[in-house]
Amino acid sequence: MHEPALLRSCCKIPYTDEYIKQCRKNLLNTTLTPPTLIAKIRQNKVALHICIAECEFNAKRYLSSPNKANMTAIEVDLKTRHRKDLEYVNLLLKGLWKCLEYANLQYVEHSWLFPSFECNSYPAALLACATETVYENCPTNRWRNSTKCEAMREFLVTCDEEIKSDKTIHQLQN
């Protein structure tokens, strides 16, 4: 099997977001962020991504509660910012809708991982799932055909199948 490529190099979708850049900058600013959190996010990239996702969701008012997305706000914002690329907007919205339950489950089941952590993991779980859905369903006209990209797509599909079977097993045990 070939080594998978980075997701963003396989499917041509908008990537840069000023909110993400600003959130990252603010999180790493010692005058804005508590020293304990800065230490955590500098040591752990997962923690940094969790905090950036939360910051972005808060800035854009994408949350209606800690573990519930405000899909109306998300849809309005995406359609405004990407009005010239509705194919991408619809693909991302489809992924977000598909991932709402999964992200909530991750938020509830994995809250023990970060018991004293200052950032909410729900936005990161939702974004990660939706991003994977976008790449799994990337339109042909946006997809870069390469062995590395096909390896990434195969990895994502296999991973999704494993998650679904794990969820089924978990539900049977309860």
Q: What is the pLDDT of residue 63?
A: 96
- Is residue 2 over pLDDT 80? no
pLDDT tens for each residue of 99-130? 999 999 888 877 666 555 678 889 999 998 99
Answer with the residue of higher pLDDT: 110 or 34.
34
Cite the DSSP H helix spans in 3-44: 18-27, 35-43
Domain ranges of the chain: 9-173
Band (173; pLDDT cuts 50, 70, 90): very low
45 within 8 A of 34, measured Cβ to Cβ: no
pLDDT at 149: 87
More confident call, 140 vs 4: 140
> Helices 18-27 and 35-43, interaxial angle, to 10°?
120
pLDDT score at 164: 55
pLDDT of residue 99: 95
> Which residues touch 98 (CB under 8 Å, ≥6 apart)?
129, 130, 133
- Helix ranges, the chain (H): 18-27, 35-43, 45-59, 71-81, 86-109, 122-136, 147-173
Q: Given this model, what pLDDT does residue 118 score? A: 76
pTM for the full model?
A: 0.81
What pLDDT sits at residue 33? 83
Q: What is the pLDDT of residues 45-83, one digit of tens each?
A: 888 888 999 999 999 999 999 889 999 999 999 999 999
User: Is residue 160 pLDDT above 80, yes or no?
Assistant: no
Residues in contact with 136: Cβ distance below 8 Å, sequence separation at least 6, in sequence order:
153, 156, 157, 160
- How far CA 8 is from CA of 42, 56, 138, in Å, comes to 23, 19, 11
- Tell me the CATH number for domain 9-173: 1.10.238.270
The Cα 9–Cα 6 span in angstroms is 6
